[in-house]
A and B are shown apart, each in its own frame.
Chain A
Amino acid sequence: MATVAVPQLSGYRRPAVLEWITTVDHKRLGILYLYFTLFFFAVGGILALLVRTQLAVADNSFVGNDAYNQIFTMHASAMLFLFIIPVWAGFGNYLVPLQIGAADMAFPRINALSFWMLPPAGILMFAGFIVDGGAADGGWTAYSPLAQQTGVGMDMWIIAVIVLGMSSTIGAANFLVTMFRMRAPGMTMFRMPIFCWTMLVTALLQLLATPVLAAALVMLFIDRNYGGQFFDPNGGGNVVLWQNVFWFYSHPAVYIMILPGMGIVSEILPVFSRKPLFGYKAFVFATIGIGGLGFSVWAHHMFTTGSVLLPFFGFMTFMIGVPTGVKIFNWLGTLWGGSISFPTPMLFALGFVSMFLIGGINGTYSAAVPVDFALHDTYFVVAHIHYVLFGGSVFAVFGGLYYWFPKIWGRKLDDRLGKLQFVLMFVGFNVAFFPMHMLGLDGMPRRIAVYAESTGWEALNMLSTGGAFLIAVSMIPFLIAVVMAFMRPKDQPNDPWEGNTLEWATTSPPPDYNFDSLPPVRSERPLFDARHNGEGH
């Protein structure tokens, strides 16, 4: 069944800038989210290069200890709070209404509000660099009492994170209502595209976990500014309370940071294997399971505090490996027996699968409590984080960009440049982060500004720094591809990839209100059904 493109409806014209600022259209807001988050990806990346430069050689004095603490704290804060969490809101904003065949999000104006909370928060957080005492420097985890000691930059950080949290909380409610209430006729919950499902579970986690972070930050703010005693043992407070409340949010948050990435990969693999996602329902239940278990494992970040129930949290953490394993099977099963092609989005998706596999395996090391005693707070954990968040989430971001670029901007990114980027990034990533496993095992703690030459850590650190710069280089072909794409006219058909889901049923880019007409939805792959008249079901 074919759909017809409608010409863009246009009312009166306002200046373009004004139109972007006042827009409540989910597509434009999605694009704004993407620009905003990619900007902070670049900022966070530059900070990362500073970190790696400092660590390249032993006893380095490139940046001082004080500056170093600010730099790595702001690196993580930018990457997590200003890039990876909101980037999914960007993809989600653009794609969820399209994928469920809706005209917009449930609450377009609240949607705009969610977005416009981000820039002030980002500016506030980074303005820390120009105030007395510098930016926040207690790590993104802001452990108290250390977080009580730093200057006003820390207060700015706290407020910024609260605002970002509010943005994602109301954004989450918006996504949930949109998905619960605005699906196209025929689209039951179990026919919803898998990306939407991952956004749904992500939104639930955000809705329920983010307010707890807000509570923690409020307490920290009160302790810092009004003499509060929440985290001060002299006044009856409890130092470890911060960690409990912080991780009650932040463990679910690590899934907030990756579930939509899994969703993107699970959209891409079937399309380029020409098969349905293997075990769609199992995937959905695994996603829900991860979400649920995510609330019961927070203390695995606190095994070395001597204050947590080790067997319980060890067990629950291992259990998270089960739904994670299920997903690996989902992806393998999707490829198996398929007819696989390898355009750039597929390469990034495969990069995700392989790197996430490593990130799952090295996570188990820390789930084994006695091993974690050795590895906690060492570079091994840094390796783990990056295998899941970079090898996982960031690869998914780029996969998603290459995949939906034609839909969003009506042009394709050059495939050869894309492959070049992938190769550079994949190699650079592994060179940068694999050695960190060994550094961690060899005893290098994380968050140190300098190490002595006698430690013998220099060679691997140098290697890792080289890899980091290779990752930076891999952004060049990407930028060239983007510029080249924008120099071309919009020439993309509705469905350049033989897609499965509804966004491919409308023009590229879609008109205001998205659809002229919708194909019937009888499975989770309405466009596949339309192409093949439902065979295969």
Chain B
Amino acid sequence: MAAHTPAGHQGMTNSMLGFILFLASEVMFFGGLFAAYFIARADAPAWPPESLLTPEQIADGVKLELEVVLPAISTGILVLSSVTMQWAVWQIQKGNQGGMLWGLFISLALGLIFLVAQLYDYTQLHFRADDTIFGTTFYTLTGFHGAHVAGGALFIAVVTVRALGGQFTAENHEAVEAASMYWHFVDVVWIALFTVLYIIG
């Protein structure tokens, strides 16, 4: 069998490259959802589009309003978790397994807090997914993001378990890097979401 040394590609492994490509497709997925949101906004006479509410909806107490304080705190939490995640990567790059473990634990915990906060936030809102395009886009965007946070948290959990088993070293810790990259991606999407839904909205 011929040996194939990939010519001139030091550094990134195949898995990492594949993973980056996968993230590119994720970006396109969110891009599609964002596009829907922007088109809806461009079409709307005002945002939030209160005028689209039917009398029944208004009678039901539907209000197209967002609560910004809690999500702002959540944003901080998620950004912080990104930092701790990166810290975990730096630690294992130096061979410090203990430091990495702390980083992973904290990131995981922060991620879970974010999810709980988001679910709580959902219960505080006075509109549902079927209350105009405002509700639909809001829940679709944040919901799919939340699902990605959950996926990322699961990823970190798996990595944490492997880390507890001592599977990572300074030379060999690709899964940690991948989890971290995914986590940053989720974080960046959230910052985009927060900006678009809460600040510009």
On whether A517 and B21 interact (CB within 8 A), knowing A177-B14, A238-B39, the answer reads: no
The answer to whether A173 and B2 touch across the interface, beta carbons within 8 angstroms, is no
Segment at the A interface, from B26-34, B79-87, B171-179, B191-199: B26-34
Q: Is B1 part of the contact surface with A, judged by Cβ < 8 Å?
A: yes
**A227–B62 Cα gap in the complex (Å)?**
15
Chain A residues with CB under 8 A of B119:
none
On whether A238 and B4 interact (CB within 8 A), knowing A207-B24, A228-B130, the answer reads: no
Closest chain-B Cβ to A208's Cβ sits at a distance in Å of 5
Q: What's the dominant secondary structure at chain A's contact region? A: helix
* Interface positions of A from 220 to 244, Cβ below 8 Å from B: 222-223, 226-230, 232, 234-238, 241, 244
Q: Is B59 part of the contact surface with A, judged by Cβ < 8 Å?
A: no
Name which residue of chain B comes closest to A187, CB basis. Answer: B7
On whether A222 and B140 interact (CB within 8 A), knowing A215-B33, A244-B39, the answer reads: yes
**A222–B32 Cα gap in the complex (Å)?**
14
Q: Is A250 part of the contact surface with B, judged by Cβ < 8 Å?
A: no
Chain A residues with CB under 8 A of B128:
227
Q: Is A152 part of the contact surface with B, judged by Cβ < 8 Å?
A: no
Q: Which of A210, A235, A516 contacts B25 (CB 8 A)?
A: A210
Chain B residues with CB under 8 A of A222:
129, 136, 140
The answer to whether A230 and B133 touch across the interface, beta carbons within 8 angstroms, is yes
Q: Which of A106, A170, A212 contacts B14 (CB 8 A)?
A: A106
Q: What's the dominant secondary structure at chain B's contact region? A: helix
Q: Which of B2, B140, B144 contacts A517 (CB 8 A)?
A: B2
Chain B residues with CB under 8 A of A517:
2
Q: Is B185 part of the contact surface with A, judged by Cβ < 8 Å?
A: no
* Interface positions of A from 371 to 420, Cβ below 8 Å from B: none
Chain A residues with CB under 8 A of B7:
183, 185
Q: Is A278 part of the contact surface with B, judged by Cβ < 8 Å?
A: no
Closest chain-A Cβ to B53's Cβ sits at a distance in Å of 9
Q: Is A68 part of the contact surface with B, judged by Cβ < 8 Å?
A: no
Closest chain-A Cβ to B28's Cβ sits at a distance in Å of 4
- Interface membership of chain B positions 6-30, coded 1 if the CB is closer than 8 angstroms to chain A and 0 otherwise: 1101000011011001101110111
Q: Is A269 part of the contact surface with B, judged by Cβ < 8 Å?
A: no
Closest chain-B Cβ to A264's Cβ sits at a distance in Å of 24
Q: Is B115 part of the contact surface with A, judged by Cβ < 8 Å?
A: no
Q: Is B66 part of the contact surface with A, judged by Cβ < 8 Å?
A: no
Q: Is A317 part of the contact surface with B, judged by Cβ < 8 Å?
A: no
The answer to whether B26 and A235 touch across the interface, beta carbons within 8 angstroms, is no
The answer to whether A235 and B136 touch across the interface, beta carbons within 8 angstroms, is yes
Closest chain-A Cβ to B24's Cβ sits at a distance in Å of 6
Chain B residues with CB under 8 A of A340:
none
The answer to whether A211 and B6 touch across the interface, beta carbons within 8 angstroms, is no
The answer to whether B22 and A515 touch across the interface, beta carbons within 8 angstroms, is no
The answer to whether B140 and A237 touch across the interface, beta carbons within 8 angstroms, is no
The answer to whether A212 and B130 touch across the interface, beta carbons within 8 angstroms, is no
Name which residue of chain B comes closest to A228, CB basis. Answer: B136
Number of A residues, CB within 8 Å of B: 54
Closest chain-A Cβ to B175's Cβ sits at a distance in Å of 15
The answer to whether B129 and A241 touch across the interface, beta carbons within 8 angstroms, is no
Q: Which of B1, B29, B40, B136 contacts A515 (CB 8 A)?
A: B1
* Tier of interface size on chain B: 35 or more
The answer to whether A177 and B18 touch across the interface, beta carbons within 8 angstroms, is yes
**A237–B131 Cα gap in the complex (Å)?**
11
Chain A residues with CB under 8 A of B161:
none
The answer to whether B21 and A215 touch across the interface, beta carbons within 8 angstroms, is no
On whether A170 and B32 interact (CB within 8 A), knowing A181-B17, A236-B133, A517-B2, the answer reads: no
Chain A residues with CB under 8 A of B60:
none
The answer to whether B32 and A245 touch across the interface, beta carbons within 8 angstroms, is yes
Q: Is A219 part of the contact surface with B, judged by Cβ < 8 Å?
A: yes
Chain B residues with CB under 8 A of A237:
40, 133, 136
On whether A101 and B2 interact (CB within 8 A), knowing A208-B24, A215-B32, the answer reads: yes
Name which residue of chain A comes closest to B30, CB basis. Answer: A215
Closest chain-B Cβ to A331's Cβ sits at a distance in Å of 31
The answer to whether B44 and A176 touch across the interface, beta carbons within 8 angstroms, is no
Chain B residues with CB under 8 A of A238:
39-40, 43
The answer to whether B6 and A218 touch across the interface, beta carbons within 8 angstroms, is no
The answer to whether B28 and A208 touch across the interface, beta carbons within 8 angstroms, is yes
The answer to whether A235 and B52 touch across the interface, beta carbons within 8 angstroms, is yes
**A349–B38 Cα gap in the complex (Å)?**
45
- Interface membership of chain A positions 456-494, coded 1 if the CB is closer than 8 angstroms to chain B and 0 otherwise: 000000000000000000000000000000000000000
The answer to whether B52 and A236 touch across the interface, beta carbons within 8 angstroms, is yes
- Interface membership of chain A positions 426-467, coded 1 if the CB is closer than 8 angstroms to chain B and 0 otherwise: 000000000000000000000000000000000000000000
Q: Is B49 part of the contact surface with A, judged by Cβ < 8 Å?
A: yes
Q: Is A117 part of the contact surface with B, judged by Cβ < 8 Å?
A: no
On whether A518 and B133 interact (CB within 8 A), knowing A211-B29, A236-B43, the answer reads: no
Q: Which of B35, B49, B130 contacts A226 (CB 8 A)?
A: B130
Q: Is A336 part of the contact surface with B, judged by Cβ < 8 Å?
A: no
The answer to whether A184 and B21 touch across the interface, beta carbons within 8 angstroms, is no
Q: Is A169 part of the contact surface with B, judged by Cβ < 8 Å?
A: yes
On whether A211 and B26 interact (CB within 8 A), knowing A218-B140, A228-B129, A230-B133, the answer reads: yes
**A207–B28 Cα gap in the complex (Å)?**
9
- Interface membership of chain B positions 109-141, coded 1 if the CB is closer than 8 angstroms to chain A and 0 otherwise: 000000000000000000011111111110010
**A101–B28 Cα gap in the complex (Å)?**
32
Chain A residues with CB under 8 A of B25:
169, 172-173, 207-208, 210-211
Q: Is B70 part of the contact surface with A, judged by Cβ < 8 Å?
A: no
Name which residue of chain A comes closest to B52, CB basis. Answer: A236
**A117–B127 Cα gap in the complex (Å)?**
37
The answer to whether B32 and A211 touch across the interface, beta carbons within 8 angstroms, is yes
Closest chain-A Cβ to B180's Cβ sits at a distance in Å of 19
Q: Is B73 part of the contact surface with A, judged by Cβ < 8 Å?
A: no
**A183–B135 Cα gap in the complex (Å)?**
49
Chain B residues with CB under 8 A of A230:
36, 40, 133, 136-137, 140
The answer to whether A106 and B18 touch across the interface, beta carbons within 8 angstroms, is yes
7 contacts between A and B (CB under 8 A): A107-B18, A176-B18, A207-B24, A211-B29, A214-B29, A228-B129, A244-B39
Please provide the 8 A-B residue pairs with the shortest distance between their CB atoms, ordered closest to farther.
A227-B130, A215-B32, A236-B133, A211-B29, A173-B21, A211-B28, A212-B32, A228-B136
Beyond A174-B18, A184-B4, A518-B2, 8 additional pairs, beta carbon < 8 A: A173-B18, A173-B21, A182-B6, A182-B14, A226-B130, A235-B132, A238-B43, A241-B36
Binding site for B on A (CB under 8 A): 101-103, 106-107, 110, 169-170, 172-174, 176-177, 180-185, 207-216, 218-219, 222-223, 226-230, 232, 234-238, 241, 244-245, 248, 513-518
